[in-house]
Amino acid sequence: MARPPQQDPKRGDVTLPSHTTPMLGVIRRVLVFAHPGKPGVRELLRDLEEFLRSRVETVLVETDVHAFALAREAGRGSEVRPDLLVVLGGDGAILGAVRAFAAEPVPTLGINFGRVGFLASTPTGRWREVLQCVFDGRAVVEPRLRIAAERRGKGPLARAVALNDVVVHRPSSGPMGTIRLRVGETWVTDYRADGLILSTPSGSTAYSLSAGGPILEPSVEAMVVTPICSQGLANRPLVLPSGADIRLEVTDDDDEPTRIVVDGRSMGDLHPGEVLRLEAHPVRYPLIVMPDLDPYRRLRDRLGWGGGPGPGAG
């Protein structure tokens, strides 16, 4: 069972980062997503199942997170409602798990078997320690902002939710397009570019970063608009408050398609005369972290920042 953080004589009073919350509630059912094709997953899964079965009533294992997510989106598998998700994989597997439970978020712990691991932040060598924190009530939840995307216009209404980003772009072989950005009814600018990336703080270290966007801490209530190879040198990444009502329109009258991609999955095309509306989803997604997690260490480790602390660093 998970219980609220409490005083530990060896640790003193628990102090949580200001943007996190303690993980509360009883854990009876755990769902594990595991990719058996990744090196080391089968071995860790065997130990993980033994660890979990000694602590909870039900342990379910799924080996294809993307197929599971597709089934839930189609209305199948909705009876599977765990108290905790454990993902053995990389950030892509985390995105699949988040998509599967987009409508009913579940506290999710990622054990990193990928190359980067900004979302799946627990190293494989520390999984027992981190999970024990969960069952001892010492783990905390980092609420992650998501983007709700809605396309309205000529075609059928389409909706999707992104934890990382929404990308609007032309095919790589096609010409640049012109994408109009509005905030509410206010026109901001027209981007002549290969596309735009609308990123959450979680996604600021993904595609947006490679396109020159800023890094946002997970606690920041904001979204980033990053142009992809903009023709105008004055077009720079733009940080907007999370309450912004963002609207995108394609102003070109040619026949080239403009794709919409949500967390790496197609949402269809954005046609002239249609509007793609983006705003912060009202429900944050709960990712589990350690109380003593240093977010800057995550950046140093993942991005390979060198050097040591400067004078006066504490």
- The average pLDDT across 13-31 equals 68
What count of other Cβ atoms lies within 10 Å of the Cβ of residue 57? 11
Structural domain that includes position 65: 21-145+284-303
By percentage, how much of the chain surpasses pLDDT 90? 60
Please name which of 18, 113, 10 lies closest in space to residue 122, comparing C-alpha atoms.
113
- If asked whether residues 41 and 151 sit together in one domain, one would say no
- If asked whether residues 82 and 52 sit together in one domain, one would say yes
Residue 11 confidence (pLDDT) above 50? no
Work out the pLDDT band at 301, boundaries 50, 70, 90: confident
Assigned domain for 79 exists: yes
Minimum mean pLDDT range among 77-86, 219-228, 246-255: 77-86
Distance separating alpha carbons of residues 77 and 290, to the nearest angstrom: 30
Nearest 5 degrees, angle CA 253-CA 157-CA 68? 120
Please report, for the domain that includes residue 228, its CATH number: 2.60.200.30
Q: Which amino acid is at 222?
A: A
Residue 19 confidence (pLDDT) above 70? no
pTM score above 0.85? yes
pLDDT by residue (tens digit) across 89-110?
A: 989 999 999 999 999 999 999 9
- If asked whether residues 140 and 206 sit together in one domain, one would say no
* 215 three-state secondary structure: coil
Work out the pLDDT band at 296, boundaries 50, 70, 90: confident
Work out the pLDDT band at 123, boundaries 50, 70, 90: confident
Minimum mean pLDDT range among 5-14, 129-138, 168-177: 5-14
Helix (H) or strand (E) holding 275: strand 275-280
- Say if CB 237 and CB 207 are below 8 A apart: no
Q: In the prediction, which pLDDT does 308 show?
A: 59
- If asked whether residues 35 and 78 sit together in one domain, one would say yes
- Reading the block at residue 166, the tokens are 């929404």
Q: In the prediction, which pLDDT does 16 show?
A: 46
Assigned domain for 269 exists: yes
Catalytic residue list contains 245: no
Assigned domain for 16 exists: no
- If asked whether residues 270 and 173 sit together in one domain, one would say yes
pLDDT by residue (tens digit) across 34-67?
A: 988 888 999 999 999 999 999 999 999 999 998 9
- If asked whether residues 260 and 176 sit together in one domain, one would say yes
Work out the pLDDT band at 307, boundaries 50, 70, 90: low
Burial class of residue 219 in the structure, from the number of CB atoms within 10 Å of its CB (0-12 exposed, 13-18 middle, 19+ buried): middle
CA gyration radius, the chain: 21
- The average pLDDT across 178-182 equals 96
- If asked whether residues 26 and 130 sit together in one domain, one would say yes
Q: In the prediction, which pLDDT does 14 show?
A: 42
How many domains is the chain partitioned into structurally? 2
Identify the active-site residue in 91, 165, 194, 263: 91
Q: In the prediction, which pLDDT does 266 show?
A: 94
- If asked whether residues 125 and 218 sit together in one domain, one would say no
Provide CB contacts within 8 A for 69, sequence distance 6+: 96, 97, 99, 100
* 133 three-state secondary structure: helix
Residue 199 confidence (pLDDT) above 50? yes
User: For helices 65-73 and 91-100, what crossing angle results, to 10°?
Assistant: 20
